[in-house]
């Protein structure tokens, strides 16, 4: 079957600096793909290129066969790709509940996720509904950010560095919500520095380094050494 | 590089010589026109330094024009001093007023700063309107013959064999021309100095500049005071020619700030030749559309808008981008490294 | 009793200034745009109402309902085709473009209507007065103040209780992330400016019925409006009302001592408030 998201030869530049060198990636419907790599590997650039925030200089992004390569960020959301941005980026002037509602501002999708369902996924969101978004702890903010993205009932959910700056127990709590998200039919791309978590949640893993994919495979098939090499770029022998 | 530089300098000297010779070789009307152009040029250069280089977008420079003019009038009418001394006093008075103005305005940022300067200028206007000794709200005129009695007018009258009035015109013209030249040279030297480098660093990124030891507040304050002085001098000299001062005229936002802003922007903000280009365009437009009244201002407004949308660096910026020619470049070269004895090759 | 009277006049005058300022506050709060043409746009609104009343014979209070949609459209177009193109981190381009716009509007009005003073006639209501306790207040000023409160109340409702308001706030916080939510900042800004000009039209109604107007009085209104916005604090609409009242009361008190001191008193109040609170009385927490 055709992949839901098909990325071919994606290249991106920041001015003269090339950040992505012909990245190929596919996401099948209902699957979860993890992208791991060190800082500066290009993972976030890839996410930004997909969502139209960073400029694509070559290659293509197809969503269910439709070319969305050069689409602007609002259009990407309308077509069904929602992002949980790196650093959460909640709106300080909005309450927790309003942050969730703004996720559905442009597109509510008539899908599974509603305000109530999202608040059930992360109960803290209902408890602190009236607090300003940024008054919550890092982990709680991450939950708001995920909920916000889910509110648009996206076909593809992009999660950029969920674990950044969070304690392990909080990270576990967040990833514990993933089975439910998967059950609702959302296909997910997870960008992670936490390799263990990425391997646990993904059907397929890609490792990036310096703007290129250096290793791909199913978590079960990849050895620790191979991942280590691909992540750090040193030869193990 | 040296050849074109020498050529440029040579051409500049010739142009300058011609400008200085104008009272001797050109009709009086031309000299008066040039005086008007130079007035706007000096104001534009000052505003350019303030907004284009120091990042201080002020809509209150008219305060210094007004204070410079009124201080000079006070010196002449109330104290009986020579107008030339009055001009100097005008400049100093403006600089002194800049101190409390800066104290207030520097607490504000960006748009707030702009509005703050405008309000302070309006306060100056309204306060001076209460100064009954100088005519209050209706203003006052220079006593008849003041210009003719200026220091140096007699000598010029004999030198050029013209009337007293024309000699006075020549004197004020030379004053303004010298002020313009002095400003241009001073700006160039300042911007190429370490302080100027610091200023441009602040313009680009204030926090980064701070982190390498540049003190933005002191630098900006210095620029603010110096441009106040320059603007005050200009206002004083200009009003010797105008001979009559009223609060509305001396503190006019339109004449002394709006036009000046347009000139600087259209010419090229943040560049040294910019104001010169802007003034020429401004005057050309004024001549062209003189018979059409308000249409001229509408055209000016539209051009200003167009420049901001399509050519942010102004006409001079456009020219530089297309041709690569850069008059008065402001780039700094790194200091020469100390010479080292013969370097060793790695083993 | 005279003091109470003066304070009351000042309060009501503050309502007029708050109306001048409300649209400005909205736009400034959402997109940090300093619209130097705002005063002239209010005057434009006054001339628009004048034209409608002259052409149709309608009462200004009715004409304003026709003028408002037209001004909304003007605001939308202005933002979409002109201001959106210069919005950014640099404050200079929008400042200069709106400066240019101010000059163009003033002189276009001059060309079209000449420098003659005009006035909107609301009829006998202009002379009516009401007695509230010890003070006698004109009906129009009270109406002006009430309108200011109503306008700010409605704007606040929009801001804090509607999806549009959420979009306003989100875009103002973080335009890039707002785009990730499917919001188009350009359209949000156009909405805001359109709304601001509707408020400006209401301000124009009260300005035009209160006193004479001509093409050149825009910039002074802009200055009072900005003083009110800045005193109130960025992002606070009720703050803008407070700011307007501060200016109004200061001007009234100053004028009661010496009529020539009216505007000066307002400016001095502005300077004093800012010396004590450089960010205004009720600034947003995050800026």
Q: In the numeric block, which tokens belong to residue A163?
A: 């674990």
* Cβ-Cβ contacts under 8 Å, C103 against chain B: 258, 297-298, 300-301, 304
Work out the minimum CA distance from B138 to partner chain C, whole angstroms.
Answer: 13
**Do C286 and A91 lie within an 8 Å CB cutoff?**
no
Q: Is the minimum CB–CB distance between A72 and chain C shorter than 8 Å?
A: yes
> Which stretches of chain C drop beneath a pLDDT of 50?
none
Give the CA count within 13 Å in the CB-facing half-sphere of B339.
2
Query: CA B39, CA B87: separation in Å to the nearest integer?
Result: 14
Identify all chain C residues contacting B104, using CB atoms and an 8 Å cutoff.
Answer: 271, 274-275
Q: Which two tokens stand for residue B333?
A: 């070269």
* CB count in 10 Å sphere of residue B174: 18
From C284's Cα to the closest Cα of chain A, the distance in A is 9
Determine whether the interchain pair B308/C263 forms a contact, defined as Cβ–Cβ distance below 8 Å: no
- Could you give the CA distance from residue A77 to residue A148 in angstroms, rounded to a whole number? 12
Contacts of A152 in chain C (CB under 8 A): 181-182
Contacts of C184 in chain A (CB under 8 A): 74
Output the CA–CA distances (angstroms, integers) from residue B178 to B85, B227, B233, B234, C286, in the order listed: 16, 16, 12, 11, 49
Do residue A89 and residue C177 have CB atoms under 8 angstroms apart?
Answer: yes
Tokens 């014979």 found at: C57
- How far apart, in Å, do the first and last CA atoms of chain B sit? 40
Residues of chain A under the 70 pLDDT cut? 1, 109, 234-237
Gap between the Cα atoms of A190 and C27, Å rounded: 38
Cα–Cα distance, A103 to C182 (Å, whole number): 8
Contacts of B303 in chain C (CB under 8 A): 100
Whether chain C has a CB inside 8 Å of the CB on A92: the answer is yes
Overall size of chain C counted in residues: 287
pLDDT score of B335: 64
Are C166 and A85 a contacting pair at CB < 8 A?
no
For residue A157, give how far its alpha carbon lies from the nearest alpha carbon of chain C (Å). Answer: 12
Binary contact (C177, A92; C-beta < 8 A):
no
CA distance B239 to B235: 6
Q: What angle do CA C97, C99, C102 make, to 5 degrees?
A: 110
How much is the pTM? Answer: 0.88
Q: Do C166 and A53 touch (CB under 8 A)?
A: no
Two structure tokens written together for C168 = 């306003």
**C-alpha of B138 from chain center:** 27
Measured between CA atoms, how close is B41 to chain C, in angstroms? Answer: 19
Q: What is the pLDDT of residue B317?
A: 85
Chain A residues 188-207 with a CB less than 8 Å from chain C = none
Minimum-distance CB partner of B301 among C86, C92, C101: C101
| Among candidate residues C223, C230, C229, the one with its CA nearest the CA of residue C274 | C230
Residue boundaries of the structural domains of chain B: 7-251, 252-327
Are A74 and C284 an interchain contact pair (Cβ–Cβ within 8 Å)?
Answer: no
CA distance A235 to chain C (A): 39
How many other CB atoms are there within 10 angstroms of residue C95's CB atom?
Answer: 24
Query: How far is A74 from chain C, CA to nearest CA, in Å?
Result: 4
Is C166 close to A94, i.e. CB distance below 8 A? Answer: yes
CATH annotation of C2-114+138-276: 1.10.3470
- The whole-angstrom distance between C30's CA and the closest CA on chain A is 11
Q: Does C177 reach chain A within 8 Å, measured CB to CB?
A: yes
Q: Which of C104, C110, C264 sits opposite B127 (nearest CB)?
A: C264
Contact C27, C199 (CB under 8 A): no
- The answer to whether C259 contacts chain A (CB < 8 Å) is no
Mutation target among C156, C160, C180, C187 for the A interface, most CBs of A within 10 A: C180
What pLDDT is stored for residue B343 in this prediction? Answer: 47
Interface test with C, best of A76, A85, A91, A152 (most C CBs within 10 A): A91
DSSP, collapsed to helix, strand or coil, labels residue A56 as strand
C166 vs A contacts (CB less than 8 Å) = 94, 98, 101-102, 105
Which pLDDT does position B177 carry in this prediction?
Answer: 94
CA–CA gap between residue B78 and residue B61 (Å, rounded): 25
Residues of C in contact with A78 (CB under 8 A): 182
Regions of chain B where pLDDT drops below 50: 343-347
Residues of B in contact with C271 (CB under 8 A): 104, 119-120, 123
Q: A84 pairs with which residues across the strands?
A: A159
Coil/strand/helix, residue A60: strand
**Partners for B (CB, 8 Å, 3+ pairs)?**
C
Q: Which chains neighbour C (Cβ–Cβ under 8 Å, 3 or more pairs)? A: A, B
* pLDDT for position B341: 52
Residue B347: what pLDDT?
45
Interface check for C175 against chain A (CB to CB < 8 A): the answer is no
The structural domains of chain C, with segments of one domain joined by +, span: 2-114+138-276
* Closest Cβ–Cβ partner in A52, A98, A152 for C166: A98
Domain spanning A5-232: which superfamily?
P-loop containing nucleotide triphosphate hydrolases (3.40.50.300)
What is the distance in angstroms between the Cα of B254 and the nearest Cα belonging to chain C?
A: 9
Chain A: list its partners (3+ Cβ pairs within 8 Å): C
| pLDDT reported for residue B64 | 97
Predicted pLDDT at A234: 66
Alpha-carbon distances of B302 from A14, A105, B296, B299, rounded to whole Å: 35, 38, 10, 5
User: What is the model's pLDDT at position C1?
Assistant: 52
Judge whether A94 is closer than 8 Å to chain C, CB to CB: yes
């Amino acid at each position: 079957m055709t992949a839901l998201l098909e990325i071919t030869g994606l290249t991106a530049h920041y001015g003269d600096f090339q950040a992505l060198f012909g990245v190929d990636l596919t996401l099948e419907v209902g699957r979860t793909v993890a992208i791991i790599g060190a800082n500066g590997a290009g993972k976030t650039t890839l996410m930004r290129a997909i969502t139209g925030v960073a400029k694509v200089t070559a290659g293509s992004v197809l969503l269910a066969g439709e070319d969305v390569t050069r689409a602007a960020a609002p259009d990407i959301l309308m077509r069904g790709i929602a992002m949980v941005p790196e650093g959460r980026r909640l709106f300080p002037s909005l309450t927790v509940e309003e942050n969730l509602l703004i996720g559905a501002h442009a597109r509510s999708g008539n899908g599974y996720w509603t305000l109530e369902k999202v608040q059930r996924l992360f109960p803290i969101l209902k408890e602190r509904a009236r607090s300003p978004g940024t008054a919550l702890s890092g982990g709680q903010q991450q939950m708001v950010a995920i909920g916000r993205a889910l509110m648009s009932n996206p076909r593809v959910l992009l999660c950029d560095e969920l674990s950044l700056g969070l304690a392990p127990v909080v990270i576990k709590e967040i990833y514990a919500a993933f089975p439910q998200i998967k059950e609702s039919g959302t296909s997910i791309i997870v960008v992670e520095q936490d390799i263990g978590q990425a391997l646990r949640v993904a059907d397929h893993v890609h490792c990036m380094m310096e703007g290129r994919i250096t290793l791909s495979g199913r978590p079960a098939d990849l050895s620790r050494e191979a991942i280590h090499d691909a992540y750090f770029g040193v030869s193990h022998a | 590089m040296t050849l074109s530089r020498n050529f440029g300098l040579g051409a500049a000297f010739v142009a300058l010589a011609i400008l200085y010779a104008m009272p001797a070789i050109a009709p009086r009307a031309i000299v008066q026109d040039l005086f008007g152009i130079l007035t706007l040029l000096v104001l534009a250069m000052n505003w350019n330094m303030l907004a284009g280089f120091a990042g201080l977008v002020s809509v209150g420079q008219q305060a210094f024009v007004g204070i410079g003019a009124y201080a000079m009038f006070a010196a002449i009418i109330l104290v009986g001093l020579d107008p030339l001394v009055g001009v100097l006093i005008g400049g100093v008075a403006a600089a002194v007023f800049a101190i409390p103005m800066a104290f207030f305005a520097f607490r504000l940022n960006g748009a707030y700063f702009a509005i703050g300067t405008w309000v302070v200028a309006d306060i100056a206007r309204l306060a001076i309107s209460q100064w009954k000794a100088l005519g209050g709200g209706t203003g006052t005129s220079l006593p008849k013959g003041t210009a003719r009695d200026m220091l140096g007018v007699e000598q010029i009258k004999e030198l050029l064999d013209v009337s007293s009035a024309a000699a006075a015109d020549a004197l004020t013209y030379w004053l303004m021309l010298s002020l313009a030249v002095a400003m241009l040279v001073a700006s160039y030297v300042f911007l190429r100095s370490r302080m100027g480098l610091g200023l441009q660093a602040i313009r680009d990124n204030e926090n980064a500049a701070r982190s390498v030891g540049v003190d933005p507040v002191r630098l900006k304050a210095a620029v603010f005071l110096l441009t106040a002085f320059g603007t005050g001098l200009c206002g004083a000299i200009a009003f010797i020619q105008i001979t009559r001062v009223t609060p509305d005229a001396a503190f006019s936002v339109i004449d002394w700030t709006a036009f000046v802003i347009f000139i600087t922007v259209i010419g090229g903000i943040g560049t040294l030749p910019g104001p010169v280009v802007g003034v020429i365009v401004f005057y050309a437009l004024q001549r062209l559309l003189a018979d059409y009244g308000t249409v001229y201002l509408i055209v000016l407004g539209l051009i200003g808008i167009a420049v901001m949308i399509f050519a942010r660096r102004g006409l001079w910026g456009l020219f530089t981008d297309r041709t690569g020619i850069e008059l008065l470049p402001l780039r700094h070269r790194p200091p020469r490294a100390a010479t080292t004895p013969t370097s060793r090759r790695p083993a | 009793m005279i003091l109470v009277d003066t304070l009351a006049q000042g309060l009501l005058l503050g309502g007029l200034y708050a109306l001048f300022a409300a649209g400005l506050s909205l736009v400034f709060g959402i997109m940090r745009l300093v619209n130097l043409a705002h005063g002239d746009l209010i005057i434009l609104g006054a001339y628009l109402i004048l034209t409608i009343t002259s052409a149709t014979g309608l009462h200004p209070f009715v004409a304003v309902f026709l003028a408002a949609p037209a001004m909304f459209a003007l605001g939308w177009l202005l933002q979409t085709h002109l201001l959106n193109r210069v919005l950014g981190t640099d404050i200079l381009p929008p400042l200069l473009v709106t400066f240019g716009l101010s000059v163009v509007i003033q002189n276009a009005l001059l060309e079209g209507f000449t420098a003659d003073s005009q006035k909107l006639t609301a009829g006998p209501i202009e002379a009516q007065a009401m007695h509230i306790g010890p003070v006698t207040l004109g009906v129009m000023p009270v109406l002006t103040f009430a309108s200011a409160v109503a306008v700010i109340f409605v704007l606040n409702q929009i801001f804090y209780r509607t999806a549009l308001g959420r979009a306003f706030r989100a875009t103002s916080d973080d335009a890039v992330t707002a785009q990730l939510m499917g919001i188009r900042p350009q359209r949000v800004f156009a909405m805001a400016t359109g709304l601001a000009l509707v408020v400006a039209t209401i301000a124009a109604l009260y300005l035009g019925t209160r006193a004479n107007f001509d093409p050149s009085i825009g910039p002074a209104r802009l200055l009072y409006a900005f003083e009110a916005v800045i005193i109130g604090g960025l992002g606070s609409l009720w703050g803008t009302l407070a700011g307007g009242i501060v200016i109004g009361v200061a001007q009234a008190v100053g004028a009661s001592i010496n009529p020539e001191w009216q505007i000066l008193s307002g400016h001095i109040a502005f300077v004093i408030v800012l010396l004590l609170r450089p960010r205004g009385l009720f600034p947003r927490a995050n800026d």
